[in-house]
Amino acid sequence: MGATGAAEPLQSVLWVKQQRCAVSLEPARALLRWWRSPGPGAGAPGADACSVPVSEIIAVEETDVHGKHQGSGKWQKMEKPYAFTVHCVKRARRHRWKWAQVTFWCPEEQLCHLWLQTLREMLEKLTSRPKHLLVFINPFGGKGQGKRIYERKVAPLFTLASITTDIIASSVSAEMVCSARCCTV
């Protein structure tokens, strides 16, 4: 990032799923991209390029590499590997989104911290991202599993994204409509 405020792309060659990849973060487009790069340079993105808009990134965290097992063969031997994981949403069929995780392995600690810091700064600049939500749970929804679905699938994502919540669970069917109308946001 430039000191004058001009956003410069961040580009590096990192490892994703034991494959050497060129990784690019373009602040002007708010886009994280990576593609396979078998040669020494970054190369141009091909048909296998993956991308995630920064607005669809849930969180970025440093990965504990001591608990991970690196495979054999294709893996580049690093004396002290460093990694960060990007938690994001992946678009699926019928307008559904799924939680996805991509771990990027870096050969140097400073490079890993640069990526972490840059991605976190971009996430903080998102003005449309809520910091606090009021959540209404219909315990009768999801075949009577509404609260359980929220606790197991939704709440962990809010925690990961550092979103605090106030939860209101209904006891009767029309209670949510009344609460939503009476609530001042």
pLDDT tens series, the chain, 185 aa: 444 444 688 999 999 998 999 999 998 899 999 998 876 655 666 667 899 999 999 999 998 776 554 444 444 555 558 999 999 998 888 888 889 999 999 999 999 999 999 999 999 998 888 999 999 888 777 788 888 999 999 999 999 999 999 998 887 766 666 666 776 55
Quote the CA–CA distance of 14 and 104 in Å, as a whole number: 6
Is the CB of residue 84 less than 8 Å from the CB of residue 60?
yes
Q: Is the CB of residue 81 less than 8 Å from the CB of residue 105?
A: yes
Residue extents of the structural domains in the chain: 10-124, 132-182
What pLDDT shows up at residue 42?
57
- pLDDT tens for residues 43-60? 666 667 899 999 999 999
CA 118 – CA 84 distance, rounded (Å): 12
Per-residue pLDDT at 45: 67
Q: Which CATH number, 1.10.3720.10, 2.30.29.30, 3.20.20.70, 2.70.70.10, labels domain 10-124?
A: 2.30.29.30
> 85: alpha, beta or left, given left = phi > 0 and alpha = psi -120 to 50?
beta
Which pLDDT score is estimated for 131?
92
Q: Is the pTM of this model over 0.75?
A: yes
Between CA 69 and CA 124 the distance in angstroms is 32
